[in-house]
């Protein structure tokens, strides 16, 4: 299965499993326009090698030793914005996909993708076009439709007040700790209860423990 496209795309593989890298290497030999530029087995090595060879496209696994794939993607995209990175992984969770895309990945593909689809995803990435596997796209839709986590809209000050509530401090004691007036603390507590959808301090503290809203 060859391809008559004239431009050669230099691809770097990053995966800690030797057999996966061998399989991807063999896959690229089937396409005339794809060329293996280098391989790395961990995130630190990937960042170093990418700076040395400057590939066109990187296929990046997300679970790697030394430095995980998301951190490696972020570092590569910051240092070498001309290099396009595709996350190629077995994971399909929306939160993981979001982290990879926010780090700078131009595509997110699952490892059950076909060879032809992967080849076109590499070409699209090289041309600056984003590519998501159907599973990844579906996971992102589900993630977007999830209700926000309790406490996600608390301000930094409200989190400080909540943390002191968890410690058992009353409004006057919290005011002393934060060097503000008790009326200001009362206002913060009211906002906290409203945002958490609870009616008492006890419920707020229980919710904070359950969802680990404070350290």
Q: How many other CB atoms sit within 10 Å of the CB of residue 38?
A: 18
How many angstroms separate the Cα of 146 from the Cα of each of 94, 150, 179? 10, 12, 38
Query: Which residue, 169, 165, 173, 147, is CA-closest to 205?
Result: 165
Please tell me the distance from the alpha carbon of residue 47 to that of residue 201, in angstroms, as a whole number. Answer: 48
Fold classification of 9-145 (topology level): Rossmann fold (3.40.50)
Helix or strand or coil: residue 60?
Answer: strand
How many angstroms separate the Cα of 186 from the Cα of each of 151, 155, 174? 18, 15, 10
Residues 58, 84: contact at Cβ < 8 Å? yes
pLDDT by residue (tens digit) across 156-200? 899 999 999 999 999 999 999 999 999 999 999 999 999 999 999
| Level-2 CATH architecture, domain 156-210 | Orthogonal Bundle (1.10)
Please tell me the distance from the alpha carbon of residue 69 to that of residue 163, in angstroms, as a whole number. Answer: 33
| Confidence grade of residue 138 (pLDDT, cut at 50, 70, 90) | confident
Give the single-character DSSP code of 50: H
Q: What is the pLDDT of residue 1?
A: 46
User: In the sheet where 34-40 sits, what is the strand order?
Assistant: 34-40, 9-14, 57-60, 84-89, 107-110, 131-132
Rounded to 5°, angle at Cα 177 from 174 and 180: 75
pLDDT by residue (tens digit) across 110-123? 998 999 999 999 99
User: For 80-94, b where at least 16 C-beta lie within 10 A, e where not — what string?
Assistant: beebbbbbbbebeeb
Q: What is the pLDDT of residue 2?
A: 46
Task: Say what the pTM is.
Answer: 0.66
Please give the average per-residue pLDDT across 14-43, as a whole number: 95
Q: What is the pLDDT of residue 141?
A: 76
* Every domain of the chain and the residues it spans: 9-145, 156-210
Please tell me the distance from the alpha carbon of residue 161 to that of residue 184, in angstroms, as a whole number. Answer: 11
Residues 73, 85: contact at Cβ < 8 Å? yes
| Confidence grade of residue 214 (pLDDT, cut at 50, 70, 90) | confident
Strand duo 131-132 + 57-60: pairing: unpaired
User: Which residues lie closer than 8 Å to 119 by C-beta, 6 or more apart?
Assistant: 3, 27, 31, 34
Residues 151, 213: contact at Cβ < 8 Å? yes
């Amino acid at each position: 299965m060859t391809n008559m496209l004239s431009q050669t795309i230099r691809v770097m593989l990053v995966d800690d499993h030797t057999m996966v890298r061998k399989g991807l290497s063999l896959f690229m030999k089937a396409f005339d326009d794809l060329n293996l530029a280098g391989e790395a087995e961990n995130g630190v090595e990937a960042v170093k090698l990418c700076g040395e060879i400057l590939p066109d496209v990187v296929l990046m696994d997300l679970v790697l030793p030394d430095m995980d794939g998301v951190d490696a993607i972020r570092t590569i995209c910051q240092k070498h914005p001309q290099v396009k990175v595709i996350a190629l992984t077995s994971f399909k969770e929306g939160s993981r996909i979001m982290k990879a895309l926010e780090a700078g990945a131009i595509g997110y593909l699952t490892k059950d993708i076909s060879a032809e689809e992967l080849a076109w995803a590499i070409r699209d990435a090289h041309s600056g076009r984003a590519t998501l596997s159907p599973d990844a796209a579906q996971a992102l839709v589900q993630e977007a439709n999830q209700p926000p986590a309790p406490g996600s809209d608390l301000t930094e000050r409200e989190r400080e007040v909540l943390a002191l509530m968890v410690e058992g401090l009353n409004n006057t004691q919290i005011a002393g700790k934060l060097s503000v007036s008790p009326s200001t603390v009362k206002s913060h507590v009211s906002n906290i209860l409203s945002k958490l959808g609870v009616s008492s301090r006890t419920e707020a503290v229980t919710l904070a423990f359950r969802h680990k809203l404070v350290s």
